[in-house]
Homo-oligomer: A and B are copies of this chain.
Amino acid sequence: MDAAADGGGALRPVVLDAMGGDHGPAVTVPGALAAHREHGVPVVLAGRADEVEHELRRHGGAGEVEVLHADEVVPMAERGAGAAARRKSSLMIGCEAARRRGGSFVSAGSTGAVVTCAVRAFARREGVLRPALAVALPTVTGSTVLVDAGGTSDPTPEMLAQFALLGTAYARNVLGVRDPSVGLLSIGAEPGKGNRLARGAARLLPDLPVRLHGNVEGHDVLAGTVDVVVTDGFTGNVVLKNIEGCVRSTLDMVARAGIAPPARLAEVARLYTADTHGGAALLGLTGTVVVAHGSSGPTAIARACAVAAELGEADEPLPVVGRASVGPVA
């Protein structure tokens, strides 16, 4: 076992749900080993010990990372309360171990299940009304943080405005943007445009300590217009999946036109896949939780563990939003 992996070392552990994702331990175990070997992340694998240890041996990693036994598996189709009711699942046991050890948690399970279990296991940071999922999307010029990408489907305007604070801190701490600009996703540039929710948030945002650009529209998300795009979890999740589908369809049309070699197009596609953007971070809790894509391969799992370690090890803590909203963001 790695000296750091038991939580006694200098680095805090990253607990990985070994049973999550479309492929379970066959993918999570090599992913955990890659995170440990290539990124130096002290990973703990939560899941069925026999299956996990079998995969560890298959990859020449027996005893290399800690294994935390958990009897149950939350099926990919199960979300919300049903998932949280399985107290002995790799998800709940993993989340709770991460909280106890002051570490981070990573799962490629269904977003709804991971969010529900994480909210049960961890507490919300002081002042945070609702957690939000943040995803860093590749743009032509760098990255844009989309928040909320599916954490809270029906936020109030106050919750939506807070997501700007969470996203700003994420862009600063994870992407290294010194003074991130923030755009509110809407359907017109003027502050009065949008649905009731967006208009309500637009009235609150100017009072928050963020660098407010104003409203942005659907075409701005990948254009790099702002560093942080703020929206509700419903719209954000639709947009995130729409981007995935749209990139695929566009490349498909290029391939059908026979104007570019498929192998080179696959490189472009990879920019937008789980293997590179490293998963969504659930912001606003007392612990760091990263949700990787269900179809993640070992590389994506390793990246998600590295992101979780970075988030957990950030020099400055994420701001407590209730306090941050009356003072500068940390």
Question: Interface residues, chain A, CB within 8 Å of chain B?
Answer: 79, 112, 139-140, 150, 153-154, 185-188, 193-196, 198, 217-223, 231-235, 237-254, 256-257, 259-261, 264-265, 267-268, 271
Contact = CB atoms under 8 A, between A and B. Distances in A.
Determine which residue in A139, A140, A219 has the highest number of CB atoms from chain B within 10 A of its CB, and name it: A219
Given A153-B195, A254-B265, A268-B250, A187 B238 contact: yes
Contacts of A241: 187, 217-219
13 contacts: A112-B188, A153-B196, A185-B238, A187-B238, A198-B234, A218-B244, A221-B242, A221-B246, A234-B235, A238-B238, A238-B239, A243-B246, A254-B260
Contacts of A253: 140, 268, 271
Contacts of A140: 249, 252-253, 256
**Count of identical protomers in the assembly:** 2
Given A153-B196, A221-B246, A254-B265, 19 more contacts: A112-B193, A150-B187, A153-B187, A186-B234, A194-B234, A195-B232, A195-B233, A217-B241, A218-B242, A219-B245, A220-B245, A223-B248, A231-B238, A235-B235, A239-B239, A242-B242, A253-B268, A254-B254, A259-B260
B244 A247 contact: no
Contacts of A223: 245, 248-249
A230 B223 CA distance: 26
Nearest to A267: B257
Q: Which 8 A-B pairs have the closest CB atoms?
A: A218-B241, A219-B245, A218-B242, A260-B260, A195-B234, A259-B264, A246-B246, A222-B249
A208 to B, nearest CB: 22
Nearest to A219: B245
* Contact residues of A: prevailing secondary structure: helix
A206 to B, nearest CB: 21
Contacts of A248: 219, 223
A197 B231 CA distance: 16
Contacts of A268: 250, 253-254, 257, 259
A88 to B, nearest CB: 24
Contacts of A232: 195
B250 A247 contact: yes
Contacts of A196: 153-154
Contacts of A235: 234-235, 238
